[in-house]
């Protein structure tokens, strides 16, 4: 690739044996993408259609699943093109845009889970005041903040990246994420400090808030009746499973580049594919199976489909 092309394009070098398995890769990832869109969309539609699901908890779940659809759409179409292309390249501005969407939605997911944990805490600790505290206006404000705050912070970081001189034009990954940090000629102190600020603000602080609220819920449930304990377990367990899954993937994503871990390319590819497929599929399955009201409507829908 000549210098002129290098000045504009970034090579995605995380693919393994692509010349042998490109059609297999494409078929598998295209199937996963369709499953992600269908599974998440079904749960979202059930929440929209049924009035008894128009509660804060289910609205936050719908927002979380919408995040999964947007997250996947940011990656899969470009990935599918790369599988079938001779050269796996992307322009630097588009690479920055993909990273912007990727981290904006990741930050939104942590904040949405924090909003859900607060809703569960109010519901269990103050059940009579819950409708007053979690009004429609409050839910809308929390949703707007969950989507706009990460977007603004990540946008500011991306602006800093636009002025950085590049000396490396090859990414080890299969899409643009934290790995763009390795393209810099000189590691920018400003970008590093702002990256830590974003990590604290979008992931660590929401995570600590979630752990605090669920600890409080656990204490309240332990002191209460079996009915309260059962309600807490039914509504909180799916959120905790999603949180643990998201935290593990996000930890890998941040640490693998920042710590410059020497991971074999095949292992890096496998983990990257898990990051973009496992989590978006995990969310609708967990909420569809573990949330009682959603599961009930889902079973009715499947029964109607079978009868036809």
Q: For 239-254, how does the pLDDT look when each residue is reduced to its tens digit (9 = 90+)?
A: 788 888 788 777 777 7
Section 158-179 average pLDDT: 84
More confident call, 101 vs 219: 101
Non-local (6+) Cβ contacts of 191 within 8 A are: 157, 160, 161, 164, 181, 184
Positive or negative: CA dihedral 91, 93, 99, 101: negative
Domain count, the chain: 1
**Mean per-residue pLDDT for 257-283?**
76
Instruction: Give yes or no for a contact between 102 and 276, defined as CB atoms under 8 angstroms apart.
Output: no
Instruction: Identify any residues that bridge with 11 across adjacent strands, giving them in sequence order.
Output: 89, 170
Residue 187 reports pLDDT greater than 80: no
CB 88 within 8 A of CB 95: no
Q: Over range 149-156, report the average pLDDT.
A: 94
Residues 6+ apart with CB under 8 A from 258: 178, 181
What pLDDT sits at residue 256?
Answer: 64
Both tokens of residue 243? 């949180």
Determine the pLDDT at residue 128.
87
| pLDDT value, residue 1 | 41
Query: Do the domain assignments include residue 28?
Result: yes
Question: What is the pTM assigned to this prediction?
Answer: 0.88
**pLDDT for the residue 263:** 72
Query: 4 in a domain, yes or no?
Result: no
Q: The tokens of 247 are what?
A: 């935290």
* CA diameter of the chain: 71
Q: Is residue 210 part of a domain?
A: yes
Binned at pLDDT 50, 70 and 90, residue 2 comes out as very low
Let me know if residue 12 belongs to a domain. Answer: no
The answer to whether residue 125 scores a pLDDT higher than 90 is: no
Q: What CATH number does the domain containing 82 carry?
A: 1.20.1070.10
Block residue for tokens 């199976």: 289
Rounded to whole angstroms, the Cα distance separating 42 from 141 reads: 25
Average pLDDT, the chain: 85
Residue showing tokens 């292992």: 267
Residue 281: inside a domain: no
Tens of pLDDT, residue by residue over 44-72, are 999 999 888 899 989 999 999 999 999 99
pLDDT digits (tens, 9 = 90+) for 97-118: 999 999 999 999 999 999 999 9
Residue span of the structural domain in which 300 resides: 21-276+292-307
Q: What is the pLDDT of residue 257?
A: 60
- Spatial separation of the C-alpha atoms in residues 274 and 57, rounded to whole Å: 27
Q: What is the pLDDT of residue 112?
A: 94
In a domain, 283, yes or no: no
Rg (CA), the chain: 21
Q: Judge whether 163 lies within some domain.
A: yes
Q: Classify the C-alpha dihedral 171-177-179-184 as positive or negative.
A: positive
């Amino acid at each position: 690739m000549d210098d002129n092309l290098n000045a504009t394009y970034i090579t995605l070098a995380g693919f393994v044996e692509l010349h042998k398995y490109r059609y297999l890769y494409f078929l598998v990832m295209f199937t996963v993408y369709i499953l992600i869109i269908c599974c998440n969309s079904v749960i979202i539609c059930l929440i929209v259609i049924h009035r008894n699901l128009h509660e804060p908890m289910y609205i936050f779940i719908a927002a979380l699943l919408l995040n999964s659809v947007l997250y996947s759409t940011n990656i899969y179409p470009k990935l599918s093109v790369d599988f079938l292309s001779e050269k796996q390249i992307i322009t630097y501005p588009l690479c920055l845009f993909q990273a912007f969407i990727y981290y904006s939605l990741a930050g939104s997911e942590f904040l949405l889970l924090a909003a859900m944990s607060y809703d569960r805490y109010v519901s269990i600790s103050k059940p009579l005041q819950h409708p007053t505290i979690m009004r429609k206006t409050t839910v809308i404000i929390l949703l707007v903040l969950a989507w706009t705050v990460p977007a603004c912070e990540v946008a500011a970081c991306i602006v800093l990246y636009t002025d950085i001189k590049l000396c490396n034009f090859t990414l080890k990954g299969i899409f643009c994420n934290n790995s763009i940090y390795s393209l810099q000629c000189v590691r920018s102190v400003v970008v590093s400090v702002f990256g830590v600020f974003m990590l604290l603000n979008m992931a660590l602080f929401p995570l600590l808030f979630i752990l605090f609220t669920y600890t409080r819920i656990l204490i309240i449930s332990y002191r209460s009746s079996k009915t309260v304990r059962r309600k807490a377990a039914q509504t909180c367990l799916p959120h905790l499973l999603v949180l643990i899954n998201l935290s593990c993937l996000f930890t890998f994503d941040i640490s693998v580049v920042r710590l410059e871990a020497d991971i074999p390319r095949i292992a890096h590819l496998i983990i990257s594919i898990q990051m973009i497929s496992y989590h978006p599929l995990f969310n609708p399955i967990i909420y569809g199976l573990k949330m009682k009201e959603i599961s009930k409507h889902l079973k009715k829908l499947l029964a109607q489909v079978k009868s036809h």
